[in-house]
Amino acid sequence: MIPEGLLLPIHVVLVEPEIPNNTGSIGRTCVAVGARLHLVHPLAFDIDEKACRRAGLDYWPRLSLAEHDTWEAYKASTDAAGARRWSLTTRAERSVHDAAFEPGDHLVFGRESSGLAEHQLEPERRLALPMAPGERSLNLSNAASAVLYEVVRQFAARRIVRVEGTRLGPVARGE
């Protein structure tokens, strides 16, 4: 399901995030591209924490935000809506560049310290960002930004969104 008013019809899901600055930065990126952010509790910080708001700056009030009490509550609500979830994990064999994202998809990221638990991983939709051999992971906010902009690239190529220079916008009717 795609909430009305989203420019980029995609969802970013942070499962039990631990670092408020990362969450704030990801929120800011979601505002910049018009995506929706989901926070799955428990969080390791208070959402009103200064670090979270500072990283999100004045963008936070414009953020399309959904909060879920538990992983099970999030999963139940998205299963009911027929959402397609992509698990972002270093334990994947498939690159984000090989996935075909669709409007309404959910990009699911785990905790900074441990990633997604095994029961939270989608069996057929596990993705990773390419990295040099021997490197174990990227910062969560960097990874989320990279994946979101891969979605922007794909959606622009398929005319789901429009990119004109440095501006992202809706595709006009009839285009």
What is the residue extent of each domain of the chain?
A: 11-170
What's the start-to-end Cα distance of the chain, in Å?
23
Indicate whether 1 pLDDT > 60.
Answer: no
Longest Cα–Cα distance in the chain: 48
| pTM beyond cutoff 0.85 | yes
pLDDT digits (tens, 9 = 90+) for 100-142: 999 999 999 999 999 999 999 999 999 999 999 999 999 999 9
Which CATH code fits 11-170? 3.40.1280.10
Least confident range from 7-16, 54-63, 67-76: namely 54-63
Residue 97: which of 52, 48, 157, 56 has the closest Cα? 157
Reported as half-sphere exposure (CB side, CA atoms, 13 A), residue 171 has a value of 13
Kindly indicate the confidence band of residue 70, based on its pLDDT and cuts at 50, 70 and 90.
Answer: very high
Give per-residue burial for 8-43: e unless 16+ CB within 10 Å, then b. Answer: bbbbbbbbbbbbbbbbbbbbbbbbbbbbbbbbbeeb
How high is the pLDDT of residue 8? 86
Tally Cβ neighbours within 10 Å of residue 70: 13
How high is the pLDDT of residue 143? 98
Indicate whether 170 pLDDT > 60.
Answer: yes
Q: What is the dihedral of CA 45, 47, 168, 152, to 10 degrees?
A: 40
Indicate whether 94 pLDDT > 80.
Answer: yes
How high is the pLDDT of residue 53? 60
Q: Are 119 and 135 in contact (CB under 8 A)?
A: no
Q: Given the DSSP bridges, would you call strands 36-40 and 11-15 parallel, antiparallel or unpaired?
A: parallel
